């Protein structure tokens, strides 16, 4: 299940894409349009800037804008930045230690298939597809 953090990050990205502007969009405007607390969006936007999804500027004409075209952002990269790995089990996480039961595990194949299916779905889906 995805948290509000991941879902709201997607809404911010879609909102910025819909503005289709090279100008910075004030967070207050996004918060009003999306009916989300500005304070909560400040936390989310800060993580998105740190993660390289958007750029921010302060001051009179400040706000946020996309760094790339909406077709270049996958839903997967946004969700993973905000939520963490899609891995359904710890043994499939990147840099995980090899499970001592991997040779005997009857479920690892199922978990791998699910992980690949979910990850592929979200990484193939672009922000432009949601506009």
The residues spanned by each domain of the chain are 4-66
Fold of 4-66: Arc Repressor Mutant, subunit A (1.10.10)
pLDDT for residue 73: 98
Question: Does residue 95 register a pLDDT over 90?
Answer: no
Q: Band of the pLDDT at 1, cuts 50, 70, 90?
A: confident
For 96, 97, 99, the CA distances from 104, given in Å and listed in that order, are: 18, 16, 10
pTM of this prediction?
0.89
Task: Give the model's pLDDT for residue 116.
Answer: 94
| Residue 7: pLDDT over 90 | yes
């Amino acid at each position: 299940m995805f948290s509000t953090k991941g879902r709201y990050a997607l809404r911010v990205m879609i909102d910025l894409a819909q503005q289709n502007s090279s100008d910075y969009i004030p967070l207050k405007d996004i918060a009003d349009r999306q009916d989300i607390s500005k304070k909560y969006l400040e936390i989310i936007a800060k993580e998105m800037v740190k993660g390289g999804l958007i750029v921010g500027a302060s001051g009179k004409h400040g706000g946020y804008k996309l760094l790339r075209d909406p077709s270049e952002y996958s839903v997967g990269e946004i969700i993973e930045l905000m939520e963490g790995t899609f891995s359904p089990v710890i043994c499939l996480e990147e840099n995980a230690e090899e499970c001592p039961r991997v040779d005997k595990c009857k479920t690892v194949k199922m978990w791998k298939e699910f992980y690949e299916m979910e990850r592929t779905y979200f990484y193939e889906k672009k922000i432009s597809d949601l506009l």
